[in-house]
Structure 1
């Protein structure tokens, strides 16, 4: 009897110890979770404090408008950078450069444009940036939606959740039927002289308009184009599609030496176009040494502007 009592006591003690250990483990998990939430709140508080105490930087000769598209119900922030003497030279009309991803690149784009104009390497142009006026995370979801030509329900970027895709047709309708008429009514533009600048997904979107809606632009500056999208959909279209232009078109593409998959597909895309000997198309493609997907911007954008606006 004593033996059974001893065994029962040991069993009870072991069970109690296991429950205590389980309780401690659960308590540690809850504490770690609370600690992480507290750290996140502290970070948000520091960010809010920094925004309160930091004055905004204004870019000279710029303006901001807003348009809400009936095609996708999206409110867009439209950023405009004027040529320096736009308001003095009231008799002049200007070519327009439409800039994708102006959420992040509008300042850099505007500065390079100003430098090249000052050195008379490109003509005076009006820069129109398309942005969302949202936080960084939502910006990437919205550009994924707007800049991809067809839907891909399984695509994950960086092991994140599936982003919306396939909205390029609606976004291009926004450009053609809402943004272009607005800009051409509000500002002094050179009729029919429209360029597009896009990088990565923006380069994919530019390639889509080049193949499917070439009437939208006559100048294309596309960097690091994401032509891998949907199993090289647009590369295959470039191979199979019959292309003709009734006006002069300039296309500049560039990617970085270290952006291997991108530059491989870019060169394949360009190879198919060159084989077609397309009338009215002037084409330049570069794979630039010692550059990556991100660092291609400075040299690629500068070279591209000089090509699409050069003689």
Structure 2
């Protein structure tokens, strides 16, 4: 068979290309580059100091664009913001077209990337009894007893800063706390019942410090019954029935005791989650808390 010049040239080029491909070293995949961390849309973060010089990390989720509702946005303050702000912010953001999303969520936490900071013991609790109860002696090396100063910050400088940055409704301010944060929420409820229009205490650590929170409860009940203090309007108590770090039964009994103050305007609701443990209660409760805080349920 006679080979044409064109066919011979094509065969030669194919051979050259094949040899070149054979001679080329294998390509090494490029090393993956580090990806930036995910940032939740419609959020802001900054650090600010309290009146006593303590530094807190403030996380805010707020609607972007549009007009606020009449009177301004209602606000929910979430304690342990490093741990729980993301859950509440995400739920608010994806429901921004609904009434529950037309609101502002403020997480109050601490500088750093840890979920919890040991400073929360000082901010959320009363001073340890003297001598410390046996179950708390291991914690006596940490500071405690600054709950009044922290409440001053929450209702003073922080609230003023949020009101300066966003159009908020100062008559619709709510508070959520879990565990030690739930204990602080009860303290705020007893100490300054008019500071928040709705308070949520989830799995409150009522057993802490030999149940010293019961002293605050008794004093509060006595003031209300004597007409010396007006009861706040709404309290939501949350408990997980599988909580072995707290006592769900004590939360139920607290709801029963406080229900007796309903004649003075107090409205108490108990929310129980049959399958939740101490750590899983906050995630389960997010939508219930948002609806309760913003008077949608």
Same-fold call, TM cutoff 0.5: yes
What residue number does 1:65 align with?
46
Q: Distance in 2 between matches of 1:53 and 1:283?
A: 49
SS of structure 2 residue aligned to 1:53: coil
Does the 8 Å CA contact 1:223/1:301 hold for their aligned counterparts?
A: no
Q: Distance in 1 between matches of 2:231 and 2:93?
A: 28
Q: Distance in 2 between matches of 1:98 and 1:65?
A: 15
Q: Select which of 287, 293, 296 maps to 1:302.
A: 287
What is the number of residues matched between the two proteins?
255
Q: Select which of 226, 238, 249 maps to 2:205.
A: 226
What residue number does 1:267 align with?
252
Q: Distance in 1 between matches of 2:98 and 2:161?
A: 30
Q: Distance in 2 between matches of 1:147 and 1:108?
A: 21
What residue number does 1:151 align with?
128
Go from structure 1 to structure 2 and tell me whether the alpha carbon gap of 1:182 and 1:290 turns closer, same or farther (over 3 Å shift).
same
Does the 8 Å CA contact 2:121/2:144 hold for their aligned counterparts?
A: yes
Q: Distance in 2 between matches of 1:152 and 1:181?
A: 34
Higher helix share: 1
TM-score (norm 2): 0.76
Cα drift, residue 265 of structure 1: 1.8
State the Cα RMSD in Å.
2.7
Does the 8 Å CA contact 1:152/1:166 hold for their aligned counterparts?
A: no
Does the 8 Å CA contact 1:235/1:268 hold for their aligned counterparts?
A: no
Q: Distance in 2 between matches of 1:180 and 1:109?
A: 19
Q: Distance in 1 between matches of 2:166 and 2:238?
A: 31
Does structure 1 residue 250 correspond to structure 2 residue 234? Answer: yes
TM-score (norm 1): 0.73
* Larger relative contact order (Cα-Cα within 8 Å, sequence gap ≥ 6): 2
What residue number does 1:170 align with?
149
SS of structure 2 residue aligned to 1:226: coil
Higher Rg: 2
SS of structure 2 residue aligned to 1:277: helix
Cα drift, residue 112 of structure 1: 2.0
Gaps of 5+ in 2: 1-32
